[in-house]
């Protein structure tokens, strides 16, 4: 075979082959295995982020991006992406397929929305990270559809570092407030809105939505902002409820004092903060477990919290440190929030360009229900029924007939509670109180001083025995901290489901664990007064069947009673 080649040519070829082999060996030897592994991990992380990325097409209103959060198709995006789309959008994934999607819930102030892609229950989805762990300089990448370029549905990837954390972006003439957000230099352009921001492990650390375009118009300038994953987590329960979600207000404004402290400059005297004792010139030390050293830090914490949550507040007044639990108010009235949601006067995604029900895709039409105060009431019923199924399991373990709980107070005195379909009674050392179940409960806030303990227990029994659908107007309210007083240092909390019932003149909220046990009841007999707060503890529950071991009751700052349930007396014959 080599006869036709000059001898020196053969030697050159041989030498080149040898050099090539040697060079390859040398190159392989010089590459650190950790570098190869890091490259493999980076490619895998971007693959996962790409697969979870959603391209959103909202018809004439344009489109943007989203990111899948669950295998059954729930995806986060920006409110401004779906604001004018009506209840239906079309979504594309990296697999090249298009999917119908329906709007579930919206948060106009925080620029968040939840949609649900239809047609599968095995969507690739992102893992929510703890965004408080993100540090300046961390690698990050964005996956989305800038300028709607992804006509093949494969998302664009832009990489960079985290430039800043805990940034506050003023509404700037709009309602879209970005609090405690992440600043990145990864390219964020129009169309990236609503897409995922991922860390080096492919975990979701934020939802992209805003950029500083002032210097170049609508072109990336290297300063993009993402809603933190922890804020998304805080609002996810409310978004899944199909409601129009609102952000929290303390009922007070703050400013910086001459010596650099963050102090209360104004306060609404009808607010819960005022009732808890917050006053002018009090220094704000921490809110929801996070330290407050600047006005922006205060706004950052408050801006990540939903209206209605109860959170710890630490203040310093007259040199004395005080701790309190404050129930946060809503920024907007329901009517104002409905208008801000971009829809009709009563709320819901109903702009003029919205298709009629007949024009909606069939899969969307059967999953959309318009109702005042909701973006999509259909999903509220789904979530309420999910909680109802857990409550039903508890109901099956309850004693038949009236519920009887007896035991001792912390003082050692005895108590007895009987709850039946028609009436309820409680015997305390101070006297006996009764409630007729069919009457207006707001007129029966007994025992005196409790704010309505007996009505709260009546509704608790009805909720478990009859189910949420039978107890007045009961909705899935969202999620709230399981134990508000024990927020983690970073401001995160263990969240549980909350149902809200409006019935017989009162409003009650029930915190329900995943196993169906009711953990807390807050009952308002008057809307602007302190509720009766009932906390049910289930320690040693296995020994006493399906009843709590202890019931703590307070109203505002005043404890009313601590009821220690005797397991022998639970369910006893009256």
Mean pLDDT of the chain: 87
- Predicted pLDDT of residue 23: 45
- Predicted TM-score of the model (pTM): 0.89
Query: What is the CATH superfamily name and number for domain 248-330?
Result: PDZ domain (2.30.42.10)
Select which of 50, 65, 80, 100 is catalytic.
80
- Predicted pLDDT of residue 486: 67
Contact 140, 55 (CB under 8 A): no
- Predicted pLDDT of residue 395: 85
Of residues 317 and 345, more confidence is placed in: 317
| Residue 440 CB-half CA count within 13 A | 5
Select which of 111, 185, 199, 272 is catalytic.
111
Q: pLDDT tens across 253-275, in order?
A: 999 999 999 999 999 999 999 99
Helix (H, G, I), strand (E, B) or coil at 159: strand
Q: Which residue has the tokens 């095995």?
A: 122
pLDDT band at 10 (very low <50, low <70, confident <90, very high): very low
- Predicted pLDDT of residue 223: 87
Residue 220 DSSP class: -
Of residues 130 and 539, more confidence is placed in: 130
Paired with 183 in beta bridges are 164, 225
Q: pLDDT tens across 372-406, in order?
A: 999 999 999 999 999 999 999 888 877 678 999 99
Confidence check: pLDDT of 136 > 50: yes
Query: Of all residues in the chain, what percent carry a pLDDT higher than 90?
Result: 72
What's the whole-number mean pLDDT along residues 298-320? Answer: 95
- Predicted pLDDT of residue 14: 40
Which of 520, 462, 478 is CA-nearest to residue 243?
478
Q: Distance (Å, rounded) from C-alpha 165 to C-alpha 68? A: 23
Select which of 50, 84, 156, 193 is catalytic.
193
CATH number listed for the domain at residues 37-243: 2.40.10.120
Q: What's the token pair of residue 311?
A: 């959170």
Q: pLDDT tens across 138-160, in order?
A: 999 999 999 988 888 999 999 99
Q: Is 193 a catalytic site residue?
A: yes
What's the whole-number mean pLDDT along residues 43-63? Answer: 91
Q: pLDDT tens across 201-210, in order?
A: 999 999 998 7
Which of 552, 554, 521 is CA-nearest to residue 537?
552
Q: What's the token pair of residue 61?
A: 């209103």
Q: Distance (Å, rounded) from C-alpha 86 to C-alpha 361? A: 12
| Residue 130 CB-half CA count within 13 A | 9
Of residues 237 and 489, more confidence is placed in: 237
Residue 437 CB coordination number (10 Å) = 18
Q: Distance (Å, rounded) from C-alpha 395 to C-alpha 463? A: 9
- Predicted pLDDT of residue 176: 75
Q: Distance (Å, rounded) from C-alpha 207 to C-alpha 140? A: 12
Range with the largest mean pLDDT of 172-186, 208-222, 397-411: 397-411
Q: Is 111 a catalytic site residue?
A: yes
The string of DSSP codes covering 356-370 is: PGGGS-HHHHTT---
Q: Distance (Å, rounded) from C-alpha 539 to C-alpha 550? A: 8
Residue 457 CB coordination number (10 Å) = 25
Confidence check: pLDDT of 47 > 80: yes
């Amino acid at each position: 075979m080599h006869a036709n080649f000059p001898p020196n040519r053969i030697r050159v070829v041989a030498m080149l082959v040898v050099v090539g082999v040697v060079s390859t060996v040398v190159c392989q030897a010089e590459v650190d295995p950790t570098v190869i592994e890091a490259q493999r991990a980076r490619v895998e992380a971007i693959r996962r982020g790409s697969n979870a990325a959603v391209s959103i097409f909202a018809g004439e209103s344009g489109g943007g991006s989203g990111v899948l959060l669950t295998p059954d198709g729930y995806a986060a995006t920006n409110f401004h992406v779906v604001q004018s789309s009506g209840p239906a959008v079309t979504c594309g994934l990296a697999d090249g397929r298009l999917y119908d999607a329906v709007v579930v819930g919206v948060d106009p102030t925080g620029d968040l929305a939840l949609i649900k892609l239809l047609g599968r229950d095995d969507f690739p989805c992102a893992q929510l990270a703890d965004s408080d762990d993100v540090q300046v300089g961390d690698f990050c990448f964005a996956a989305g559809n800038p300028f709607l370029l992804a006509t093949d549905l494969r998302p664009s990837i832009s990489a960079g570092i985290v430039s800043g954390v805990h940034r506050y972006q003023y509404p700037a003439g709009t309602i879209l407030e970005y609090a405690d957000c992440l600043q990145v230099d990864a390219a964020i352009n129009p169309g990236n809105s609503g897409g995922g921001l991922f860390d080096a492990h492919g975990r979701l650390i934020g939802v992209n939505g805003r950029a500083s375009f002032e210097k170049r118009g609508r072109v990336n300038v290297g300063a993009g902002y993402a809603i933190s994953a922890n804020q998304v987590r805080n609002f996810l329960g409310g978004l899944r409820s199909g409601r129009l979600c609102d952000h929290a207000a303390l009922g007070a404004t703050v400013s910086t004092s001459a010596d650099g402290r963050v102090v209360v400059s104004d306060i609404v005297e009808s607010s819960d903060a005022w009732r808890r004792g917050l006053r002018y010139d009090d220094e704000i030390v921490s809110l929801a477990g996070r330290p407050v050293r600047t006005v922006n830090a205060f706004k950052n914490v408050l801006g990540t919290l939903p209206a209605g949550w109860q959170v710890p507040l630490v203040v310093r007044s007259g040199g004395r440190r005080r701790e309190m639990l404050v129930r946060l108010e809503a920024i907007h009235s329901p009517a104002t929030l409905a208008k801000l949601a971009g829809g009709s006067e009563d709320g819901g995604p109903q702009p003029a360009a919205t298709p009629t029900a007949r024009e909606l895709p069939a899969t969307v039409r059967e999953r959309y229900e318009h109702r005042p105060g909701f973006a999509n009431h259909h999903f509220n019923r789904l979530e309420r029924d999910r909680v109802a199924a857990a409550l039903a399991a508890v109901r099956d373990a309850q004693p038949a007939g009236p519920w009887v709980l007896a035991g001792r107070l912390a003082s050692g005195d005895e108590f007895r509670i009987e709850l039946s379909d028609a009436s309820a009674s409680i015997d305390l050392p101070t006297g006996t109180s009764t409630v007729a179940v069919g009457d207006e409960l707001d007129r029966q806030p007994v025992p005196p001083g409790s704010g309505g303990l007996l009505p709260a227990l009546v509704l608790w029994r009805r909720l478990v025995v009859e189910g949420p659908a039978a107890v007045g107007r009961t909705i899935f309210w969202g999620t709230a901290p399981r134990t508000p007083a024990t927020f983690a240092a970073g401001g995160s909390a263990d969240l549980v489901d909350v149902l809200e019932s409006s019935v017989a003149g009162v409003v009650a909220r029930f915190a329900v664990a995943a196993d169906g046990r009711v953990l807390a009841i807050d009952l308002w007999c008057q809307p602007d007064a302190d509720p009766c707060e009932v906390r049910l503890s289930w320690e040693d529950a296995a020994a006493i069947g399906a009843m709590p071991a202890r019931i703590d009751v307070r109203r505002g700052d005043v404890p009313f009673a601590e009821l220690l349930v005797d397991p022998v007396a639970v369910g006893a014959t009256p």
